[in-house]
Amino acid sequence: MNSTDNISNFKRWLFILFAACLLPLSASIYGQTRNESVELLAIDRPIAAGQSYWLEELTFLEIRDLILADTTTVIIPTGGIEENGP
C-alpha cells in the first residue's frame, strides 16, 4: 500500500466520521423547527384580518387563515427585466 492509498482511506473515514457526527445534529434541528411550526399554526390571530389579495400586505397569520378558508387566488408580485421589441 502506498501513501496515496493511505491518504484516500484517511479522507474517506474522516468524511464518514464527520457525516456521522452531523446526523444527530440535523435530526434535533428538524425536531425543533417542526415543533415551532406546529405552535405557529395553533396560535390565534390577535387582530382582525386584512382584506387584500396581495401577499405583501398580509401577515403570516392572515395568510394561514386564508389558506385554511380555501382561498385559491393570490397575487404574487414579481419583477423582471427583459428586452421587448426590435
Helix (H, G, I), strand (E, B) or coil at 24: helix
Rounded Cα–Cα distance for residues 47 and 60 (Å): 12
The verdict on residue 86 lying in a domain is no
Domain that holds residue 4: 1-42
pLDDT exceeds cutoff 60 at 31: no
The alpha carbon of 25 is separated from its chain's Cα centroid by a whole number of angstroms, namely 17
- The whole-angstrom separation of Cα 70 and Cα 75 is 15
Both 26 and 55 in one domain: the answer is no
Q: Any idea what DSSP says for residue 57? A: G
Residue 63 lies in a domain: yes
Is 52 contained in some domain? yes
Q: How far apart are CA 10 and CA 1, in angstroms?
A: 13
- Predicted model pTM: 0.43
> Of 45, 73, 77, nearest to 59 (Cα)?
45
Quick one: pLDDT band at residue 62, thresholds 50, 70, 90? confident
